[in-house]
Amino acid sequence: MKEVVIIGGGAAGLAAAIACYDAGLKDILVIERSQFLGGILNQCIHNGFGLHTFKEELTGPEYASRFIKEVERREIKALTSSMVIDLEPHRVTYVNSTEGVNTIETKAIILAMGCRERPRGALNIPGFRPAGIFSAGTAQRLMNIEGYLVGKRVVILGSGDIGLIMARRMTLEGAKVLAVAELMPYSGGLKRNIVQCLDDFNIPLLLSHTVVNIEGKERVEAVTIAKVDSSRKPIKGTEKRFECDTLLLSVGLLPENELSKKAGLTLSPVTGGPIVDNSFSAGDGIFACGNVLHVHDLVDYVSEEAALAGSQAAKYVKEGFKEKEYIKVSTGFGVRYTVPQYIQKGCEDVMLRFRVTDIFKGSSIVISSKGNVLKKIKRQVMSPGEMESVKLNFKADEDILVEVVNE
């Protein structure tokens, strides 16, 4: 019987493994489906990672390699090219080429499978289905790992950070990026990326626009973009046609929780991830962290959260399950969700992470219990593209409500 099995060897899984080890566990196994540890960081060759964790700007592979070295130094066992195919509390079943299908028993499980990109189909973009339509991450992999430029004239739908980063990458490698269209009236990406990935290269950002047609039988030949109204429906007569050979989609990330469902966990309809308490426990010795739990904006927060989940899993393994009382964290106006959704009664200094529903300027985050304000923080600006963090520097004794209050 293993002490802990960690599913996923990306940013979250690596940090969780290190934390488990440092909290005293020795029989740890990381199971990674691809050939290498590091996850999606390996293809994120741009810089900007690690400002919080290492106080310096690293590229994705550099950030990953620091964690991989720590895992290796601790001689934590990692199985690569191995895919977990079934999950129950305390039982993990995986398959690979050397062992075939194998089931192992474990005291605890940490879910760190990350997320996937929303595909074209999920948007129901009409038109033909030719070659040349890529999710931004797929194009990023082809470009940064395999060394292939996937197209020469490119339109990008979605201004999330991956889309913005790819606009710059493709431009640097010789492609012409004609426009980035964004359905919302604001970009989901960092300001810094808008300036350094788009403005630097005079790539237009078309807010409140979407793709309404894709032309081309074999390869993309043109993409039509139209303005959308306040209910995000295309406005007739605003169509602009771009002749291009490639359409990149950067239209959102979805936590990958098919295994969590197999394990019988309840998923939040808002985050798409498991519902957890402040020890990142989803119940039955299963913990979750990173993008499988909720999609993060910065990898530093993934590492931080995963380290906490790892140490809590270790605590569970050593101390066993203890019956606890919980308080519930509810969301009010302007707050889409919170993680955790539950807090063990009496806990202090719990870090609450959440996303807001809209852009708020000069508003406050208010945390209250039965109408009593426990904490109020003024924020100059909050945006759905960025994760908010609030430390609850009080003892949680009763259900709390988190909301945005406009002044």
Partner 1 sequence: MIYDSIVIGGGVVGASIARYLSLYDISVALLEKNSDLCTGTSKANSGIAHAGYDPIPGTLKAKLNVRGNQLLRELAPQLGIDLKNNMAMVLSFNRDDELKMLYERGLKNGVSGMRIISHDEVLALEPNINSEVTAALLLTTSCIVCPFSLTYAMGENAEANGAKLLMEQEVIDIKKCDNYFIIKTKCDEFKALTVINAAGVFADKINDMVAPHTFDIKVKSGEYVLLDRSEGGLVNSTIFQLPTKEGKGVLVTPTYHNNILVGPDSVLRDDRNDNATYADGLEKVMESAKKSVSNINYRSIITSFAGLRASTASGDFIINEPVDGFFNAAGIDSPGLTSAPAIGEYISDIVSKHLGRKKKANPILNREAIARPSVLNRDERNALIQKDPRYGNIICRCEEISEGEIVEAIKRGGTTLDGVKRRVRAGMGRCQGGFCSVKVLELIARECGCRMEDVRKNEKGSEVIL
Partner 2 sequence: MSNVELTCINCPLGCQLTATVENGAVIKVSGNNCIRGERYAKNEVVAPKRTVTSTVKGVGCRVCVKTVPEIPKEKIFACMEEIHKTEITSHVHIGDVIIKNIAGTGSDLVATSEG
Where on the chain is the footprint of partner 2 (CB under 8 A)?
42, 45-47, 57-59, 61-62, 65, 143-147, 169, 172-173, 190-192, 194-196, 199-200, 361, 380-383, 385-386
CA distance 64 to 18: 13
Which residues in the 271-330 window bind partner 1 by CB under 8 A? none
Q: Which listed option, partner 2, partner 1, none, makes contact with residue 97 (CB within 5 to 8 Å by class)?
A: partner 1
CA distance 63 to 189: 21
SS (H, E, C) 273-328: CECCCCCCEEECCEEECHHHCCCCCCHHHHHHHHHHHHHHHHHHHHHCCCCCCEEE
Q: Which listed option, partner 1, partner 2, none, makes contact with residue 303 (CB within 5 to 8 Å by class)?
A: none
CA distance 256 to 101: 21
Q: Which residue has the tokens 């039509």?
A: 224
The residue from 55, 75, 100, 371 that contacts partner 1 (CB under 8 A) is 100
Nearer to partner 2, 188 or 340 (CB): 188
Nearest residue to 380 via CA among 407, 361, 357: 361
**Of 66-74, 113-121, 350-358, 388-396: span binding partner 1 (CB under 8 A):** 113-121
Long-range CB contacts for residues 192-196, cutoff 8 Å, separation at least 24: 192/48, 193/161, 193/164, 193/165, 194/159, 194/164, 196/168
Q: Is 98 near partner 1 (CB under 8 A)?
A: yes
Instruction: Check: CB of residue 94 under 8 Å from CB of residue 102.
Output: yes
Structure tokens at 136: 């931004």
CA dihedral 206, 210, 212, 213 (to 10 degrees): 60
Q: Which residue has the tokens 């895992």?
A: 71
Q: Is 97 near partner 1 (CB under 8 A)?
A: yes
The residue from 219, 241, 361, 391 that contacts partner 1 (CB under 8 A) is 219
**Site residue total, partner 1 (CB under 8 A):** 47
CA distance 42 to 61: 5
Nearer to partner 2, 95 or 142 (CB): 142
Q: Is 375 near partner 1 (CB under 8 A)?
A: no
Q: Which listed option, partner 1, partner 2, none, makes contact with residue 132 (CB within 5 to 8 Å by class)?
A: partner 1
Q: Which amino acid appears at position 230 of this protein?
A: S
Q: Is 99 near partner 1 (CB under 8 A)?
A: yes
Nearest-10 crossing angle of helices 60-73, 299-319: 20
Residue 14: strand, helix, or coil: helix
Instruction: Check: CB of residue 267 under 8 Å from CB of residue 261.
Output: yes
Phi, psi of 261 (to 5 degrees): -65, -40
Structure tokens at 375: 């904490």
Q: Is 127 near partner 1 (CB under 8 A)?
A: yes
Q: Which amino acid appears at position 195 of this protein?
A: V
Q: Is 258 near partner 1 (CB under 8 A)?
A: yes
The distance of closest approach from Cβ of residue 68 to partner 2 in the complex, given in angstroms and rounded to an integer, is: 10
Q: Determine the distance from the C-alpha atom of residue 272 to the mean position of all C-alpha atoms in its chain, rounded to a whole number.
A: 11
Q: Which listed option, partner 2, partner 1, none, makes contact with residue 361 (CB within 5 to 8 Å by class)?
A: partner 2
The distance of closest approach from Cβ of residue 35 to partner 2 in the complex, given in angstroms and rounded to an integer, is: 11
Which residues in the 167-186 window bind partner 1 by CB under 8 A? none
Q: Which listed option, partner 2, partner 1, none, makes contact with residue 45 (CB within 5 to 8 Å by class)?
A: partner 2
The residue from 23, 51, 85, 359 that contacts partner 1 (CB under 8 A) is 85
The distance of closest approach from Cβ of residue 405 to partner 2 in the complex, given in angstroms and rounded to an integer, is: 19
Q: Which listed option, partner 2, partner 1, none, makes contact with residue 151 (CB within 5 to 8 Å by class)?
A: partner 1
The distance of closest approach from Cβ of residue 328 to partner 1 in the complex, given in angstroms and rounded to an integer, is: 25
Nearer to partner 1, 160 or 285 (CB): 160
Q: Is 81 near partner 1 (CB under 8 A)?
A: yes
Q: Is 246 near partner 1 (CB under 8 A)?
A: yes
Phi, psi of 396 (to 5 degrees): -85, 110
Q: Is 332 near partner 1 (CB under 8 A)?
A: no
Nearer to partner 1, 61 or 127 (CB): 127
Structure tokens at 222: 């043109």
Instruction: List contacts with partner 1 (CB under 8 A).
Output: 33, 81, 83, 85, 95-101, 116-117, 119-122, 124, 126-132, 135, 137-138, 141-142, 145-146, 148-152, 212, 214, 217-219, 234, 245-246, 258, 261
